[in-house]
Amino acid sequence: MERLQKILAEAGYGSRRKVEKLIIEGVVTVNGQVAELGQKASRFDDIRVKGEKIILQRKVYYLLNKPEGYLCTLHDPFNRPKVTDLVPQEPRVFPVGRLDADTTGALLLTNDGQLSNHLLHPRYHVEKTYLVKVSGRVKPEDIRKLEKGIMLEDGMTLPAKAEVKKSTRDWTLVSLTITEGRKRQVKRMMKALGYPVLALHRERFGPLDVDDLKLGEFRNLTQSEIKSLRGSVRH
């Protein structure tokens, strides 16, 4: 049994407040009886809103290796390619957080709003690992600064893990693991230290990696991956 509000919200009848209003208005029935606020129900009950039987979408979870040039928005006034174009259209899914159009790599898409909210919530510190190619040779003291925290216009960044993976005269490849998800955070962190970002790829999102996916490919998460994602936001 689950709270009726939760079931109705999942079936697309709006926010908690909206579905509570529907229940108070007396337009929701469970097995023919007018529902009451706070009541529990099972998803196998005959639940109706204004006489119409609700349809519960099955939950889907896709891991996409996002290619360059795709936007993480759902609507774009210029009709540019969207990440949602790369996965099945039914049931509708949305990206969990955002990657910039020119960033590649691990992106989760799902219709599980609750898990998505948790994964994006700052309190759970879900780790995201990026491979960043920057112009110039990154100094060891700057690696330490990345690890300790960098002052950005929206405050100090939390401690991160940083490591030089490869360096040449002209550019450096850095692995950077952060637990926040501020807008353009990696690019802003590197820029604050004087290194323009040439390319950015997300290798890992929490327990998920895209090692087995080519750019533009996606796959369904396994049951154990879904479990471990849920585990990463339960404290």
Half-sphere exposure of residue 133: CA atoms within 13 angstroms, side-chain side: 11
Q: Which is nearer to ligand URA, 191 or 219 (CB)?
A: 191
Q: Which is nearer to ligand URA, 118 or 187 (CB)?
A: 187
Q: Is 207 exposed, middle or buried (0-12, 13-18, 19+ CB in 10 A)?
A: middle
Nearest-approach distance from CB 133 to ligand URA, in angstroms: 13
Of the candidates 106, 115, 121, the one whose C-alpha atom is nearest the C-alpha of residue 180 is 121
Q: Which is nearer to ligand URA, 116 or 185 (CB)?
A: 185
Map residues 44-83 to x or -, x wherever contact with ligand URA holds by CB under 6 A.
----------------------------------------
Residues with catalytic roles:
100
Nearest-approach distance from CB 100 to ligand URA, in angstroms: 4
Nearest-approach distance from CB 124 to ligand URA, in angstroms: 17
Bridge partners (DSSP) of residue 208 are 205
Q: Which is nearer to ligand URA, 10 or 203 (CB)?
A: 203
Q: Which is nearer to ligand URA, 6 or 161 (CB)?
A: 161
- Contact region for ligand URA (CB under 6 A) — 7-15, 117-125, 140-148, 179-187? 179-187
In sequence order, the 6+-apart residues with CB closer than 8 A to the CB of 38 are 3
Nearest-approach distance from CB 189 to ligand URA, in angstroms: 8
Q: Which amino acid is at 104?
A: T
Map residues 81-120 to x or -, x wherever contact with ligand URA holds by CB under 6 A.
------------------xx--x-----------------
Query: Which stretches of the chain are DSSP H helices?
Result: 4-10, 16-25, 113-120, 140-148, 185-192, 223-232
In sequence order, the 6+-apart residues with CB closer than 8 A to the CB of 161 are 147, 175, 176, 177
Structure tokens of 90? 């039914």
Number of shown-chain residues binding ligand URA (CB under 6 A): 8
Map residues 181-220 to x or -, x wherever contact with ligand URA holds by CB under 6 A.
---xxxx------------x--------------------
Of the candidates 135, 128, 132, 137, the one whose C-alpha atom is nearest the C-alpha of residue 158 is 128
**For residues 97 and 202, what is the distance between their CA atoms, to the nearest angstrom?**
12
Site residues (vs ligand URA, CB under 6 A)? 99-100, 103, 184-187, 200
